[in-house]
Amino acid sequence: MREEVFSRLLIPFFFIMLSINRWIALGMLAFSSGYGYLSFTYRILPFEQFLAMKPNTLPIGLALAGMVCSVALLLTPDGQSSSSTEENKVIGSDQKYLESPENYEWGKGIGLLILAVIYALSLRQAGFLIATSLFLSIGGLMLGERKIWILLPVSCAASFLVWYLVDEVLSIFMRPWPMIFYQ
Amino acid sequence: MWDQMLLGIQTAFTLQNMLFAALGCFIGTIIGMLPGLGPMSVVAIMIPVSIQIGDPSTTLILLAGVYYGAIFGGSTSSILINAPGEAAVVATSFDGYPMTRKGQAGKALTIAAISSFAGGTIGAILLMGFAPALASFAILFWSAEYFALMLVGLSAVAAFAGKGKVLKALMMTLLGLMLATVGESSLFNAPRFTLGLLDLQSGIHFVTLAMGLFAVPEAFFLALDVLRGKKGGSKEAREISNLRINVKEAKTIAPVIGRQSIQGFLIGVMPGAGATIASFLGYAVERNLAKPEERKEFGEGSIKGLAAPETANNAASTGSFVPLLTLGIPGSGTTAILLGALIALNLQPGPLLLQDRPEVFWSVIFSMYFGNVILLILNLPLVPYIAKILAVPRTYLIPFVLFFAMAGAYIGQNNATELLLLLGFGVFAILMRFADYPLPPMLIGFVLGQLFEDNFGRAIRNANGIQFIWERPMTLILIVSAAVFIIYPLLRDWMANKRK
């Protein structure tokens, strides 16, 4: 069933990903061009007009170099990748994930990143202790941990320990409780 | 002179000062392991406590212990979970983390501990012998030379440009340099490229970028492979906590340690250069000196590649005490905070310190020997236990790695935007890893970018043009060295491939 879902939905996606090098080079070109546009249109203050090095001197150089480099990457054949070299076999290239995607837990990886985004957005409202305990517990459950009676206390204890060390011992303020308590 | 040194030894080796040196090393190591709390933050945090002690020698001994303890502590998270929380330990992750992936975490931590010890101790010997002479050498370095030194530091990217990835490494370096121009700069009056976002005014923070580029992808890829990780048995656990290095390995790293202690110390002596440049440069130099078969291992778990930056950054942190104690010039953020502490204690560091308060000057230097021994004694027995973190089930380890990375960016800033930026960099890094782009050059470009632009700008303003490049011999030598460091290995690889 799982393999079927992969072949129907994900494999066409990975065909597009086959030319990931090209897509990335295109993205780099867009980024360098955008950066170049901002550098060229950067408003120099009147007293900076006559400086030997203006605020946009280096950025313009970097943008031009970035554009040349990304065009070169765009025109370079895909075979430039080094995944098949002997050295990389020692630790394994990350391209292996794309070569046989059905062997990996994509849902868990992407789910974890989404959970991290939710954690980042909720930290302010929920406070450090609650948001962190929930993030660690839900993260563990998402990855397949079933012993919630161990996971939950460990997550709560870890959140408290980090908060105590940072806020109480090192005196770096970190709001422990939800925003509502401070209004 | 000898009387003064004896006075220093007497002061340094009192029970109270020895205990404070050990306490400083311990606190520095533990707090330094947290990403986001580099040596500068840890020393700053410890100042109010240490000033309460009252005695200048004891205060400085404690803070110096915290300083090099934090440098060593930072390397632990670099090696174990690819989360370099401080610029000076970024180069440690280049080969330290691949060693961990090969199941050699214990060995990597041992090499890091021994290299740090050797770098710190040799640095202390050099500090004792040559401090006053080196201080006058340090002030010969002007912006032009610093700019050239940054170029030599940037040549470390060549280590990742082999294996047909030259363009990719170059592109990533350029991206890093571009990101370094975001926000305020000491050279110009208005913040640049902030896109109207207030959060970008002070620029992109190092920890945000480093954690995004290294730790987030690591957590993601571990999650993709989570079921495989569960099968890790006791044999694997034994392997990662094995801290033995054999005679051949010891012989391999010994010359690296010797060279990098001296080179790292000399770079540390120059105000503004510091441990970060020393570690990148150490890595680049050792890669270029390595035999072709050893060079292939750089970036893949080379023990030379780990020993070089670890030795260099510790030697450089010792070296940074030269301009502080002899000229009263703080060479780095951390030594600037130490200078503040000294002034608060009614001491004026500078040429008169050695004359007026020799016991402070020499006791700090002698405490460094003791502090380095303490660091080794403290850390070697802990290596198997620290390495066992990796044997924790992945269902626990992965969310903790991600949390650890995010906490680094959140601590002290209480800013959720920083976390979103970190995750954005994380997604970018994942895509880059799929396409086989090397990530370290981007961080090298970012770390050195700001210094590169500042020094280049000052040099151009001073000379009113770029003629300083050929007019100042030291600048020219350094620029030519940087070019050789980048071009020669590429040319050599190309020739070798052509011959095949």
pLDDT digits (tens, 9 = 90+) for B407-441: 888 876 778 888 999 999 999 999 998 888 888 88
Residue of A93, A103, A108 best to disrupt the B interface, most CBs of B under 10 A: A108
A172/B461 Cβ within 8 A: no
**Is residue A112 domain-shared with residue A58, that is, in the same domain?**
no
Q: Which amino acid is at B289?
A: L
Q: Which of A77, A98, A119 is the last residue of a domain?
A: A77
State whether residue B406 sits within 8 Å of chain A by CB.
Answer: yes
Residue B339 CB contacts under 8 Å (≥ 6 apart), including other chains: B324, B328, B330, B349
Chain A nearest-CA residue for B97: A91
- B482 burial (CB, 10 Å; 0-12 / 13-18 / 19+) is buried
A117/B192 Cβ within 8 A: no
| Alpha-helix runs per DSSP H in B243-357 | 247-269, 274-289, 292-295, 303-319, 321-327, 333-344, 351-356
B465/A162 Cβ within 8 A: no
Chain A CB contacts of B301 below 8 Å: 90-91
Q: Looking at residue B183, what DSSP letter applies?
A: B
Q: What is the pLDDT of residues A93-131, one digit of tens each?
A: 677 787 777 778 888 899 999 999 999 999 888 889 999
**In chain A, how many domains are there?**
2
By C-alpha distance, which of B52, B31, B29, B51 is closest to B41?
B31
B403/A135 Cβ within 8 A: yes
Chain A nearest-CA residue for B296: A87
Confidence category of residue A27, pLDDT binned at 50, 70, 90: very high
Q: CB pairs below 8 Å between A and B: how many?
A: 203
Tokens of B225: 């492979």
- Does residue A83 register a pLDDT over 60? no
Per-residue model confidence (pLDDT) at position B159: 66
Which of left, alpha, beta for A98 (phi over 0: left; psi -120 to 50: alpha)? alpha
**Is residue A51 domain-shared with residue A119, that is, in the same domain?**
no
Q: From the CB of residue B497, how many other CB atoms can be counted at a distance below 10 Å? A: 9
Distance separating alpha carbons of residues B95 and B109, to the nearest angstrom: 11
Q: Which amino acid is at A120?
A: A
**Is residue A178 domain-shared with residue A110, that is, in the same domain?**
yes
A97 domain-assigned: no
Distance from CA of A1 to the nearest CA of B (A): 19
Q: From the CB of residue B492, how many other CB atoms can be counted at a distance below 10 Å? A: 14
- Does residue A157 register a pLDDT over 90? yes
Find the CB nearest B416 among A121, A132, A174: A121
Find the CB nearest B460 among A20, A53, A105: A53
Per-residue model confidence (pLDDT) at position A180: 78
Chain B nearest-CA residue for A65: B174
Sequential pLDDT tens for chain B (500 residues): 677 778 777 777 888 888 888 888 888 888 777 766 677 777 877 777 777 777 788 888 888 888 878 877 888 888 888 877 777 888 888 888 888 888 888 888 889 888 988 888 888 888 877 776 776 676 677 788 888 888 887 877 766 666 567 888 889 999 999 999 998 887 887 888 888 888 888 888 888 888 888 889 888 988 887 666 554 444 555 566 677 788 888 888 999 999 999 999 888 887 666 788 888 888 888 888 888 788 778 888 889 999 999 999 888 888 888 877 777 777 677 777 777 777 777 777 776 777 777 777 777 777 777 778 888 887 777 777 777 776 778 888 889 888 988 888 887 677 888 899 999 999 999 999 888 888 888 988 888 888 888 888 888 888 888 888 888 888 899 899 888 877 776 777 677 777 76
What angle, 0 to 180 degrees and rounded to 10, lies between the N-to-C axes of helices B105-138 and B247-269? Answer: 30
Say what the alpha-carbon torsion angle A104, A108, A109, A113 is, to the nearest 10 degrees: 170
Residue range of the domain that includes A176: 106-182
Find the CB nearest B411 among A63, A136, A174: A174
Distance separating alpha carbons of residues B236 and B388, to the nearest angstrom: 10
Residue B474 CB contacts under 8 Å (≥ 6 apart), including other chains: B140, B141, B145, B148
Q: CA B427, B432, B435, B436 torsion: positive or negative?
A: negative
Rg (CA), chain A: 24
The per-residue DSSP string of B1-39 comes to -HHHHHHHHHHHTSHHHHHHHHHHHHHHHHHHTSTT--H
Find the CB nearest A52 among B402, B437, B461: B461
Phi, psi of A173, rounded to the nearest 5 degrees? -65, 130
3 state DSSP class of B478: helix
A31: enclosing H helix or E strand: helix A20-40
Residue of B50, B166, B178, B216 best to disrupt the A interface, most CBs of A under 10 A: B178
By C-alpha distance, which of B299, B311, B221, B321 is closest to B263?
B311
Residues in a beta bridge with B183: B192
Residue range of the domain that includes B457: 2-499
Distance separating alpha carbons of residues B375 and A94, to the nearest angstrom: 36
Distance separating alpha carbons of residues B337 and A38, to the nearest angstrom: 36
Q: Which amino acid is at B290?
A: A
Chain A nearest-CA residue for B162: A82
- Does residue A80 register a pLDDT over 50? no
Tokens of B111: 């090499």
Distance separating alpha carbons of residues B306 and B92, to the nearest angstrom: 6
State whether residue B193 sits within 8 Å of chain A by CB.
Answer: yes
- Does residue A11 register a pLDDT over 60? no
Rg (CA), chain B: 22
Distance separating alpha carbons of residues B48 and B39, to the nearest angstrom: 16
Find the CB nearest B102 among A90, A166, A175: A90
Q: What share of chain B is helix, strand, coil (3-state, %, to 5)?
A: 80, 0, 20
Q: From the CB of residue B402, how many other CB atoms can be counted at a distance below 10 Å? A: 30
A117 domain-assigned: yes
Tokens of B467: 């003629």
Tokens of A116: 């991290």
By C-alpha distance, which of B262, B309, B277 is closest to B125?
B262
Tokens of B82: 């690819």
Q: From the CB of residue B381, how many other CB atoms can be counted at a distance below 10 Å? A: 10
Q: From the CB of residue B355, how many other CB atoms can be counted at a distance below 10 Å? A: 10
- Per-residue burial over B55-77, b if 16 or more Cβ lie within 10 Å, else e, is bbbbbbbbbbbbbbbbbbbbbbb
The per-residue DSSP string of B423-450 comes to HHHHHHHHHHHHTT--SHHHHHHHHHHH
A86 domain-assigned: no
Per-residue model confidence (pLDDT) at position A10: 59
Chain B from 333 to 392: CB within 8 A of any A CB: none
A82 domain-assigned: no
**In chain B, how many domains are there?**
1
Q: Which amino acid is at B249?
A: E
A13 domain-assigned: yes
By C-alpha distance, which of B358, B360, B353, B350 is closest to B329?
B350
Residue of A24, A64, A136, A142 best to disrupt the B interface, most CBs of B under 10 A: A24
Q: Tokens 């020669």 appear where?
A: B488
Chain A CB contacts of B438 below 8 Å: none
